[in-house]
Structure 1
């Protein structure tokens, strides 16, 4: 057996003590989330992925996938750090923040209603905590690109068993419309792309007329929005409550650019 093969094996043999302490640290960290900065949470996330998966093995997310991109960077920056070192570093950083954490039993610690997952990074805060704040849909209506980017960046989630917690990007407002409908209606094509890059359902149907965002974009003649929706796989054959498809709307518009897009 050559030295390189021996080193590979050795790097995978985390001591039981290190692994046990690491798992306990992961459990305890959820109770400190309100005290930590986003940068600290990302650092813990990167170390967690390095300790459980190894070096980053996924491609870098697109520029509009702000939350996924931030997590990817935190993980990729750790390079070839081995799993046991990542575990020890994770525990060491928790020691710096909460020196006596290991004296507590995390299972007996009273936790708040879960707004954090696994290792801990924030998901969206409840409406009760910030009743006066604008919602995602409010920012979409107003065309606040920076606020929407901040929303997704601050709403980073951590996978629990590789199942990310979903953000409320497909929720409806009081009018029965989703954020994607408002973006298409207002012609906010950049925002539309951001929403789609962050999990918006391109074929989400509104609750009143049964229309998709593509219906809205065509009705309002927002060509750039139409292009983006089709690029993300919008289905032009979905019928609304009046049995009208997006292709029907395009033909009725008499706009050759829109008709050509739908034919293509």
Structure 2
């Protein structure tokens, strides 16, 4: 191998390092522009960030009722097999279009955005399942991701604490920033074992979410999760609760035209 070939290799490595350095700086700077960007721009930056740092989308599509997560997943998945380096360059190029002089600014002197974590697209935070350390996750996160061991550990730890403090309330029916509780996520994702654990430990089987007025039974039927439907009905889920569209679980079952679901709701 001649010297010219070695020089080409080292030149390529230097260019990659330079691109990565500039990309990281662009990620830091974008945090200060969030309030100035619309949803489509934020999603495009998010997709490019994930492609540049992780590679092609490697996670399953979120449930239909988690619209924010689905939008982000689509933005990432649409990039298909784009290389990490191309994604970094595209990220930088897009930032250049929005603010050509960004590289001349000192981010430490710029006031950061106060928008919710999900739009902090250059360094995604709590809403992205894969970006949280296990110790930072809540019962809702674990219900969403199907972490059965962590759910069990949560209740074991919580019961111990409650026994010592004589507290009677567990945060099992609390809502997250999307207006959903752990029971809604478990039903949406089809995590029937976790759903059973939640219900046995005090989850309100008829808890209504804050956005669409739907219960876990609505979610399970819409997603076609038979085991979840069986468990919810066993624990007394009501079939006639209307959501914001005036639809009951029975209505959703009939619309699904799934004979198994329809039969479950008739029983």
Normalised to the residue count of structure 1, the TM-score between the two structures is 0.49
Pick the structure with more helix per residue: 2
